[in-house]
């Protein structure tokens, strides 16, 4: 089983880099980064790092670990441009990128920055078209595509990504999102406790089987807050699933995620209370929980 970290975007890049380097040095498998332009709480004065420039910088500075967007909002960039960006970051990293994508949901930043925010059905239509053309581009194909929202005429990535194909991850738990992931992605992500992930993985299996795809070829990743000791205040975790308690309790939860079909757990640092405490918390998790699954 893989274990990765998710540094929050509302901090200095120096702190994100330090945490990523620490995670790499202490045996974590990956570093993920969110794609937002404003905090979800509406505080427009709080800094927010841009996802893809941050990933490019991490790719050049942090060795070994997988890097990925969790997830890139499809409404923010034309998918062909996103493919070009991802190919570049993959080459900078030496072939360690996962391109995570979703339909996008945060209306406030769309309004603030002038991005169109269509109704959910259209956003899902756009996501499905985007995944279809990304699938071809990231595999190194020449893509001719004429959809309702995107048109490509003999598009090709040169230089191509080092990974062929560069892995595509689709994030989300809705019925249509699961269908899109089963059809086009190499990986999938959702938030939830083990019971929820067990249900979602079963539904994802069914979608794969409906398409004639081996479910084992689609990696499953999950996000949850892991806290040794007391659970963080509800205001700090903002509705995220929380697994808290003794090391034994956390090990039981990880085993339950694994039994549910999860291949990778992603631990956010949003609730640790600063960079120094985040490193200490990750070290405790690595020694008292993660080590049992290595």
Count of residues in the chain: 294
Using alpha carbons, select from 168, 171, 174 the residue that is nearest to residue 82: 168
Which token pair is 26? 């202490």
Please, what sign has the CA dihedral across residues 19, 24, 29, 30? positive
Read off the pLDDT of residues 222-234 as tens digits, 9 standing for 90 and up.
999 999 998 887 7
Give the count of domains, the chain: 1
Is pLDDT above 70 for 35?
yes
Residue 95, Ramachandran bin (φ over 0: left; ψ between -120 and 50: alpha; else beta): left
Confidence band for 170, pLDDT divided at 50, 70 and 90 = very high
Structure letter (DSSP) for residue 160: P
Structure letter (DSSP) for residue 262: -
Residue 154, Ramachandran bin (φ over 0: left; ψ between -120 and 50: alpha; else beta): left
Read off the pLDDT of residues 60-114 as tens digits, 9 standing for 90 and up.
999 999 999 999 999 999 999 999 999 999 999 999 999 999 999 999 999 999 9
Residue 90: give its domain's CATH number. Answer: 3.20.20.30
CA distance 212 to 94: 33
- Please give the model's pTM, rounded to 2 decimal places: 0.96
Contact by Cβ (8 Å): 62, 24:
yes
Element (H, E) at 136: helix 120-138
Element (H, E) at 92: helix 79-93
Q: Which domain, by its residues, includes 16?
A: 2-293
Read off the pLDDT of residues 242-251 as tens digits, 9 standing for 90 and up.
999 999 999 9
Phi, psi of 199 (to 5 degrees): -65, -45
Report the chain's terminal Cα–Cα distance, integer Å: 7
Read off the pLDDT of residues 11-29 as tens digits, 9 standing for 90 and up.
999 999 999 999 999 999 9
């Amino acid at each position: 089983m893989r274990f990765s970290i998710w540094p929050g975007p509302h901090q200095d890049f120096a702190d994100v880099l330090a945490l990523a380097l620490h995670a790499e040095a202490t045996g974590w498998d990956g570093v993920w980064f969110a794609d937002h332009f404003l905090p979800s709480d509406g505080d427009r004065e709080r800094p927010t790092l841009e996802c893809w420039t941050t990933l490019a910088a991490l790719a050049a500075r942090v060795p070994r670990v997988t890097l990925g967007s969790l997830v890139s909002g499809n409404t923010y960039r034309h998918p062909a441009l996103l493919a070009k960006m991802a190919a570049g970051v993959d080459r900078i990293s030496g072939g360690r990128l996962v391109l995570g994508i979703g339909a996008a949901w945060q209306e406030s930043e769309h309004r603030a920055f002038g991005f169109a925010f269509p109704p959910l059905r259209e956003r899902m239509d756009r996501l499905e078209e985007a995944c279809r053309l990304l699938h071809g581009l990231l595999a190194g194909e020449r893509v001719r595509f004429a959809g309702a929202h995107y048109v490509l005429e003999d598009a090709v990535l040169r230089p191509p990504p080092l990974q062929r194909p560069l892995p595509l991850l689709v994030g989300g738990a809705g019925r249509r999102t699961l269908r899109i992931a089963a059809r086009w992605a190499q990986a999938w992500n959702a938030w939830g406790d083990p019971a929820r992930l067990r249900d979602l993985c079963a539904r994802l299996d069914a979608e794969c089987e409906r398409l004639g795809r081996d479910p084992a070829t689609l990696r499953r990743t999950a996000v949850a807050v892991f806290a040794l000791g007391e659970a963080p205040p509800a205001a700090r975790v903002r509705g995220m699933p929380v697994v808290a308690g003794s090391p034994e309790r956390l090990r039981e939860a990880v085993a339950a995620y694994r039994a549910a079909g999860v291949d990778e757990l992603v631990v956010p640092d949003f609730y640790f209370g600063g960079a120094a405490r985040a490193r200490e918390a990750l070290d405790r998790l690595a020694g008292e929980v993660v080590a049992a699954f290595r």
